[in-house]
Amino acid sequence: MARLSQQQTSSGHTVMVVDDDGELRGTVARLLRSCGHTVLTAADGEEALQLVAAHDVHLMLLDYFMVGMTGEDVVRELRLRGHELQVVLQTGYASERPPRDMLRDLDIQGYHDKSEGPDKLLVWVDAALKAHRHVRAIMASRDGLNHILQAAPQLHRLQSLDDLLRGILLQLQGILGFSGACVAVLPGSSTGSGLVAVPGAQVFEVRVATGRFEGRAWPDLDTAERNAIIGAAHSGRPARTPLTALPLQAGERNVGVVLVELDPQAAADADLTLLEVFAAQAAVAIQNVQLFELATTDDLTGLMNRRAWTGRLEETLQLGARHGHPTSVMLIDVDHFKSVNDTYGHLAGDALLRALGATLRDHVRATDLAGRYGGEELAVLLPHTEPAGARILAERLRERIAALALDWNGQHVQVTASVGLATDLGGAHSVPTSAALLARADSALYAAKAAGRNRVLEAAGPALSLAGAEG
């Protein structure tokens, strides 16, 4: 049965605990009541939905794996019915979906691992209730709130950290009413400028900037600007100094500071509560991207690691099979890489791989995905790409690699690369798995190296066709 209980000194918040484990449900409820929260408990999703309809619930702590409706089912039903309460999913099973997937795909505010204990849970509760207070406080600011809600999907989509930070700055400019692209000003008025700084090992690092801050690094900022960033990071509160400094806080962790220069009237009119709500969204997005990049990026080359890359390949092939889109893959192997290590040392080999990673990042299309397949072997996923287009792209990359010159201790290190291509046509012609397509590309790569290296060979069914240059 649902149980409503309240402590004498109330926090003013109502929290619901939904878990089919009665003992755990009771333990969490007692913990929350000791913090002064009004507590509702429910043993399953249906009961939770009934209570939400009857009470003003601010936060739901929701077990992911329950008999009947899962936590994911409950979240989707809550949003379908128009309930806007904060939701923190709780998990006790390692096999459940990764936190980033859940935060990206569902409208939830947190994902707590039960094994992390009560202290971490209370951090999530405090952060979620803080977000709830902010949302309630700015209901009158409809335009700003709508802007934040519309920005959330863009912030939480898969993207690089720098792209995310640029997006945060652009969204913030939209909230504050100035644009970094085109600004019309009256004589004597100032344009808007801004930057996003993230904490480094010793000092902050300026990652993206607009206006007069563009192109400036941390040492280039004046004392007042640096102090504004440091002060906001330490206090965790937005401030006008007169620069507007907005800390990006994910729980108790500072992930960055936005520094914005506005004209005096715009700065005075800025709703700091509204900005804090946006900052909470932005901070979670930054933390998610950092965790995602840590888990999916190869440290040496900066490309996607093999596990993440092959996972994306599998997803792309499935979409291609369903919708009839072709998918091509490119396996790239550095010719005579061992001789680079033997001649110049392994540090030179590592530097060469870093340079190759940068070359691929700079010259693949925005829709393509480059990864480190293993050792000196790199890979590129080419969605929606037929064999003819893949050959053109492979030749361009082969030429770029051949033109790459690494300066190592006064010597120029140059290499060539062999490339194997394979294409899955999608639809009824689709191969069953990514392994089959990669096996064909690997066979083409082996043939390219056997034929003299520094060339592109395409696996066209059982036959191989030459599409490169003699090395």
**Mean predicted confidence (pLDDT) in 58-80:** 89
290 and 181 in a common domain:
yes
348 and 257 in a common domain:
no
154 is a domain residue: no
455 and 344 in a common domain:
yes
| Domain end (from 257, 277, 296) | 296
279 and 351 in a common domain:
no
453 and 346 in a common domain:
yes
Return the higher-pLDDT residue of 337 and 178: 337
Look at residues 23, 58, 24 and name the one whose alpha carbon lies nearest to residue 40.
58
CATH number, domain at 415?
A: 3.30.70.270
Q: Does residue 192 contact residue 211 with C-beta atoms inside 8 Å?
A: yes
Strands, E assignment, 216-349: 239-240, 244-250, 253-261, 327-334
Angle (nearest 5°) at CA 175 between 172 and 179? 70
CATH number, domain at 31?
A: 3.40.50.2300
Q: What pLDDT, in 10s, does the model give residues 373-412? A: 998 999 999 999 999 999 999 999 999 999 998 889 888 8
Angle (nearest 5°) at CA 249 between 272 and 153? 85
Q: Does residue 103 contact residue 64 with C-beta atoms inside 8 Å?
A: no
The catalytic position among 47, 261, 276, 376 is: 376
CA 428, chain centre distance (Å)? 34
455 and 316 in a common domain:
yes
What gap in Å lies between CA 250 and CA 285, rounded to an integer? 9
291 and 315 in a common domain:
no
471 is a domain residue: no
User: pLDDT tier at 155 (50, 70, 90 boundaries)?
Assistant: low
Q: Which domain holds residue 205?
A: 163-296
Residue 262 scores a pLDDT above 50? yes
110 and 60 in a common domain:
yes
Residue 469 scores a pLDDT above 80? no
Give pLDDT, residue 159.
Answer: 67
Q: What pLDDT, in 10s, does the model give residues 242-261? A: 778 888 877 777 778 888 77
Verify whether residue 376 is a known catalytic residue: yes
pTM: 0.49
| Domain count along the chain | 3
153 is a domain residue: no
Residue 191 scores a pLDDT above 70? no
144 is a domain residue: no
Give pLDDT, residue 370.
Answer: 94
Q: Could you tell me how many residues make up the chain?
A: 471
Residue 33 scores a pLDDT above 60? yes
What gap in Å lies between CA 313 and CA 33, rounded to an integer? 48
Q: What pLDDT, in 10s, does the model give residues 430-441? A: 766 889 899 999
**Mean predicted confidence (pLDDT) in 337-352:** 91
**Mean predicted confidence (pLDDT) in 350-377:** 91
DSSP classification of residue 114: G
